[in-house]
Amino acid sequence: MKQLIFSVLMFSCFASKAQLKKTPTDADRLALEGIIVETYNGSELKDYKDTLDNYLPKGSVTYRIFVDLKPGYTMQAVFGIAKHELKIETTTEFFNAKRSGERTGDRIDNELINQNLLALDSWLTIGAATKAHLGIPKTDDKDGSIITKSFLSKADGLIASEKVRAVSYFGDDLKFFQDSTKASSFKSTNVSWAVFGGVKGATADNKILIAQLTTNGKLSYELNLQIGTPTGASMQYVAKDAEGAEIKFDALNSKK
Protein backbone atom coordinates (compact mmCIF):
# COMPACT_ATOMS: atom_id res chain seq x y z
CA MET A 1 0.00 0.00 0.00
CA LYS A 2 2.82 2.41 0.81
CA GLN A 3 4.36 1.78 -2.61
CA LEU A 4 1.04 2.42 -4.33
CA ILE A 5 0.58 5.71 -2.48
CA PHE A 6 4.13 6.74 -3.38
CA SER A 7 3.52 5.94 -7.05
CA VAL A 8 0.33 8.00 -7.10
CA LEU A 9 2.05 10.87 -5.29
CA MET A 10 4.78 10.86 -7.89
CA PHE A 11 2.26 11.52 -10.67
CA SER A 12 0.48 14.09 -8.55
CA CYS A 13 3.80 15.89 -8.16
CA PHE A 14 4.30 15.97 -11.93
CA ALA A 15 0.77 17.27 -12.47
CA SER A 16 0.58 19.80 -9.65
CA LYS A 17 3.76 21.56 -10.74
CA ALA A 18 2.49 21.63 -14.30
CA GLN A 19 -0.91 23.03 -13.39
CA LEU A 20 0.74 26.02 -11.73
CA LYS A 21 2.08 26.96 -15.14
CA LYS A 22 -0.78 26.16 -17.49
CA THR A 23 -3.72 23.83 -18.00
CA PRO A 24 -3.50 21.73 -21.19
CA THR A 25 -5.42 23.20 -24.12
CA ASP A 26 -7.62 21.35 -26.60
CA ALA A 27 -4.68 21.45 -29.02
CA ASP A 28 -2.42 19.90 -26.38
CA ARG A 29 -4.80 16.96 -26.08
CA LEU A 30 -3.84 15.99 -29.65
CA ALA A 31 -0.14 15.75 -28.79
CA LEU A 32 -0.03 11.95 -28.96
CA GLU A 33 0.02 11.03 -32.65
CA GLY A 34 0.52 7.29 -32.42
CA ILE A 35 2.22 4.21 -31.01
CA ILE A 36 4.81 2.56 -33.24
CA VAL A 37 5.73 -1.11 -32.81
CA GLU A 38 8.91 -1.75 -34.80
CA THR A 39 10.27 -5.17 -35.70
CA TYR A 40 13.82 -4.44 -34.59
CA ASN A 41 15.47 -7.81 -35.14
CA GLY A 42 14.63 -11.22 -36.50
CA SER A 43 16.92 -13.74 -34.82
CA GLU A 44 19.32 -15.86 -36.82
CA LEU A 45 20.04 -19.57 -36.39
CA LYS A 46 23.40 -18.84 -34.72
CA ASP A 47 21.60 -16.75 -32.07
CA TYR A 48 19.55 -19.75 -30.96
CA LYS A 49 22.75 -21.66 -30.17
CA ASP A 50 24.15 -19.01 -27.83
CA THR A 51 23.22 -20.30 -24.38
CA LEU A 52 25.47 -18.01 -22.29
CA ASP A 53 22.75 -15.36 -22.15
CA ASN A 54 19.87 -17.80 -21.56
CA TYR A 55 18.49 -19.92 -24.35
CA LEU A 56 16.91 -17.84 -27.13
CA PRO A 57 13.85 -19.70 -28.46
CA LYS A 58 13.71 -20.34 -32.19
CA GLY A 59 11.58 -17.80 -34.03
CA SER A 60 12.26 -15.00 -31.53
CA VAL A 61 11.66 -11.43 -32.69
CA THR A 62 12.83 -8.25 -30.99
CA TYR A 63 10.25 -5.44 -30.98
CA ARG A 64 10.65 -1.79 -30.04
CA ILE A 65 7.76 0.40 -28.93
CA PHE A 66 7.91 4.13 -29.69
CA VAL A 67 5.60 6.95 -28.60
CA ASP A 68 5.07 9.37 -31.49
CA LEU A 69 4.47 12.92 -30.22
CA LYS A 70 3.99 16.25 -31.91
CA PRO A 71 7.13 18.42 -31.88
CA GLY A 72 7.73 20.26 -28.62
CA TYR A 73 6.01 17.71 -26.34
CA THR A 74 7.86 15.46 -23.89
CA MET A 75 7.50 11.87 -22.75
CA GLN A 76 7.45 11.92 -18.94
CA ALA A 77 6.30 8.52 -17.67
CA VAL A 78 4.65 5.17 -18.35
CA PHE A 79 2.46 3.98 -15.48
CA GLY A 80 0.00 1.52 -14.02
CA ILE A 81 -2.29 2.66 -11.19
CA ALA A 82 -5.66 1.70 -9.73
CA LYS A 83 -8.28 1.64 -12.54
CA HIS A 84 -5.51 1.80 -15.14
CA GLU A 85 -3.56 -1.44 -15.00
CA LEU A 86 -0.42 -1.64 -17.11
CA LYS A 87 0.12 -4.87 -19.07
CA ILE A 88 2.98 -6.15 -21.23
CA GLU A 89 2.44 -9.80 -22.24
CA THR A 90 3.39 -12.52 -24.68
CA THR A 91 1.81 -15.87 -25.48
CA THR A 92 5.16 -17.58 -24.78
CA GLU A 93 8.00 -15.95 -22.80
CA PHE A 94 10.13 -12.81 -22.93
CA PHE A 95 13.88 -13.18 -23.41
CA ASN A 96 16.12 -11.51 -20.82
CA ALA A 97 19.90 -11.54 -21.38
CA LYS A 98 21.59 -13.14 -18.40
CA ARG A 99 25.00 -11.52 -18.89
CA SER A 100 24.93 -7.69 -18.65
CA GLY A 101 21.16 -7.54 -19.15
CA GLU A 102 19.38 -4.61 -17.49
CA ARG A 103 15.89 -3.51 -16.46
CA THR A 104 16.07 -0.15 -18.25
CA GLY A 105 17.73 0.91 -21.50
CA ASP A 106 19.79 3.73 -19.99
CA ARG A 107 21.84 1.11 -18.11
CA ILE A 108 22.78 -1.02 -21.12
CA ASP A 109 26.55 -0.85 -21.60
CA ASN A 110 27.19 0.15 -25.22
CA GLU A 111 30.74 -1.19 -24.99
CA LEU A 112 29.36 -4.68 -24.35
CA ILE A 113 26.53 -4.51 -26.91
CA ASN A 114 28.10 -7.19 -29.17
CA GLN A 115 28.76 -9.67 -26.40
CA ASN A 116 26.50 -12.72 -26.52
CA LEU A 117 22.84 -11.63 -26.85
CA LEU A 118 22.86 -8.28 -25.02
CA ALA A 119 21.62 -6.44 -28.14
CA LEU A 120 18.40 -8.50 -27.95
CA ASP A 121 17.74 -8.03 -24.22
CA SER A 122 14.23 -7.02 -23.07
CA TRP A 123 14.00 -3.75 -21.11
CA LEU A 124 11.96 -0.60 -20.50
CA THR A 125 13.05 2.99 -21.02
CA ILE A 126 12.18 6.63 -21.67
CA GLY A 127 14.31 7.47 -24.70
CA ALA A 128 17.61 5.72 -23.92
CA ALA A 129 18.78 2.52 -25.62
CA THR A 130 22.25 2.37 -24.01
CA LYS A 131 24.28 4.46 -21.59
CA ALA A 132 25.45 6.57 -24.54
CA HIS A 133 22.66 6.26 -27.13
CA LEU A 134 19.04 7.24 -27.67
CA GLY A 135 16.79 4.83 -29.53
CA ILE A 136 15.37 5.78 -32.94
CA PRO A 137 13.41 3.78 -35.55
CA LYS A 138 15.76 1.95 -37.90
CA THR A 139 14.16 3.70 -40.88
CA ASP A 140 15.44 7.00 -39.44
CA ASP A 141 18.93 5.66 -38.70
CA LYS A 142 21.47 6.95 -41.24
CA ASP A 143 24.74 6.73 -39.27
CA GLY A 144 25.56 3.04 -39.66
CA SER A 145 25.74 0.50 -36.85
CA ILE A 146 27.85 -0.50 -33.88
CA ILE A 147 26.11 -3.90 -33.75
CA THR A 148 27.66 -6.78 -35.69
CA LYS A 149 24.59 -9.02 -36.01
CA SER A 150 23.72 -9.12 -39.70
CA PHE A 151 20.09 -7.99 -39.31
CA LEU A 152 21.32 -4.88 -37.45
CA SER A 153 24.66 -4.32 -39.17
CA LYS A 154 23.42 -1.52 -41.44
CA ALA A 155 21.11 0.25 -39.01
CA ASP A 156 21.07 -0.37 -35.26
CA GLY A 157 18.40 2.12 -34.17
CA LEU A 158 20.98 3.89 -32.00
CA ILE A 159 22.12 7.50 -32.12
CA ALA A 160 25.00 8.69 -29.94
CA SER A 161 23.87 11.39 -27.53
CA GLU A 162 25.05 13.34 -24.52
CA LYS A 163 21.38 13.75 -23.55
CA VAL A 164 20.79 10.23 -22.24
CA ARG A 165 18.69 10.65 -19.09
CA ALA A 166 18.49 8.27 -16.15
CA VAL A 167 15.24 6.32 -15.93
CA SER A 168 13.67 6.17 -12.46
CA TYR A 169 11.11 3.54 -11.49
CA PHE A 170 8.66 3.40 -8.61
CA GLY A 171 6.27 0.93 -7.03
CA ASP A 172 6.71 -2.63 -8.29
CA ASP A 173 10.27 -3.72 -8.99
CA LEU A 174 11.23 -4.10 -12.66
CA LYS A 175 13.44 -7.15 -12.18
CA PHE A 176 10.94 -9.01 -14.38
CA PHE A 177 13.00 -7.47 -17.21
CA GLN A 178 16.38 -8.39 -15.75
CA ASP A 179 16.35 -11.67 -13.89
CA SER A 180 13.37 -13.71 -14.99
CA THR A 181 14.01 -16.34 -17.66
CA LYS A 182 10.50 -17.84 -17.90
CA ALA A 183 8.25 -14.80 -17.73
CA SER A 184 5.28 -14.09 -19.98
CA SER A 185 3.17 -11.43 -18.25
CA PHE A 186 4.08 -8.14 -16.59
CA LYS A 187 0.94 -6.60 -15.04
CA SER A 188 0.71 -3.94 -12.35
CA THR A 189 -1.49 -1.25 -10.81
CA ASN A 190 1.49 0.03 -8.83
CA VAL A 191 4.34 0.81 -11.20
CA SER A 192 5.84 3.69 -13.12
CA TRP A 193 9.05 4.40 -14.98
CA ALA A 194 9.87 8.01 -15.72
CA VAL A 195 12.38 10.71 -16.51
CA PHE A 196 11.92 13.83 -14.42
CA GLY A 197 11.40 16.82 -16.70
CA GLY A 198 10.55 14.57 -19.63
CA VAL A 199 12.35 13.55 -22.82
CA LYS A 200 11.98 14.59 -26.45
CA GLY A 201 12.79 12.34 -29.38
CA ALA A 202 16.27 12.33 -30.89
CA THR A 203 14.95 13.60 -34.25
CA ALA A 204 12.46 16.25 -35.34
CA ASP A 205 9.74 13.58 -35.68
CA ASN A 206 9.76 13.31 -31.84
CA LYS A 207 9.47 9.54 -31.51
CA ILE A 208 10.48 8.34 -28.04
CA LEU A 209 11.47 4.75 -27.31
CA ILE A 210 9.74 3.23 -24.25
CA ALA A 211 10.50 -0.51 -24.51
CA GLN A 212 12.53 -3.22 -26.25
CA LEU A 213 10.98 -6.71 -26.01
CA THR A 214 12.15 -10.05 -27.41
CA THR A 215 9.80 -13.03 -27.68
CA ASN A 216 8.82 -15.83 -30.05
CA GLY A 217 5.17 -15.35 -29.08
CA LYS A 218 2.47 -12.79 -29.82
CA LEU A 219 3.13 -9.47 -28.08
CA SER A 220 0.27 -7.53 -26.45
CA TYR A 221 0.03 -4.53 -24.14
CA GLU A 222 -2.07 -1.95 -22.33
CA LEU A 223 -0.10 1.24 -21.66
CA ASN A 224 -0.77 4.50 -19.85
CA LEU A 225 1.37 7.57 -20.50
CA GLN A 226 2.08 10.96 -19.00
CA ILE A 227 2.98 13.60 -21.60
CA GLY A 228 4.34 17.10 -20.98
CA THR A 229 3.26 20.16 -22.98
CA PRO A 230 5.60 22.93 -24.26
CA THR A 231 4.16 25.26 -21.60
CA GLY A 232 4.82 22.88 -18.71
CA ALA A 233 1.41 21.21 -18.21
CA SER A 234 0.96 17.43 -18.07
CA MET A 235 -1.63 15.07 -19.54
CA GLN A 236 -2.45 11.44 -18.86
CA TYR A 237 -3.31 9.19 -21.81
CA VAL A 238 -4.86 5.84 -20.87
CA ALA A 239 -5.61 2.58 -22.66
CA LYS A 240 -9.26 2.51 -21.55
CA ASP A 241 -11.86 3.81 -19.07
CA ALA A 242 -10.74 7.45 -19.09
CA GLU A 243 -12.05 9.63 -16.26
CA GLY A 244 -12.00 13.39 -15.72
CA ALA A 245 -9.15 15.02 -17.67
CA GLU A 246 -7.67 11.68 -18.76
CA ILE A 247 -7.55 11.00 -22.49
CA LYS A 248 -8.40 7.57 -23.92
CA PHE A 249 -6.12 6.62 -26.80
CA ASP A 250 -7.04 3.39 -28.59
CA ALA A 251 -3.54 2.55 -29.81
CA LEU A 252 -2.36 2.18 -26.20
CA ASN A 253 -4.37 -1.06 -26.08
CA SER A 254 -3.18 -3.68 -28.56
CA LYS A 255 -6.23 -5.83 -27.73
CA LYS A 256 -8.78 -3.11 -28.43
Q: Where along the chain do its domains lie? A: 2-252
Task: Report how far residue 154's alpha carbon sits from residue 243's, in angstroms, rounded to the nearest whole number.
Answer: 45
Looking at residue 223, its pLDDT comes to 98
Q: CA-CA distance, 32 to 37, in Å (whole number)? A: 15
Dist. CA 170–CA 186, nearest whole Å? 15
**Residue-level pLDDT at 179:** 81
pLDDT, residue 14, reads: 47
Instruction: Give the pLDDT score at 13.
Output: 47
Confidence at residue 49, expressed as pLDDT on a 0 to 100 scale: 65
Within 8 A by CB and 6+ apart from 149, the residues are: 41, 44, 47, 114, 119
* Closest to 21 measured CA to CA, from 248, 256, 228: 228
Phi, psi of 20, rounded to the nearest 5 degrees = -65, -25
Q: Compute, in degrees rounded to 10, the torsion defined by CA atoms 80, 81, 84, 88.
A: 20
Task: Give the side-chain half-sphere CA count within 13 A for 124.
Answer: 24
Per-residue pLDDT at 74 = 98
What confidence score (pLDDT) does residue 195 get?
96
pLDDT of residue 6: 40
Check residue 232 and give its pLDDT.
92
Under-50 pLDDT residues of the chain:
1-9, 12-20
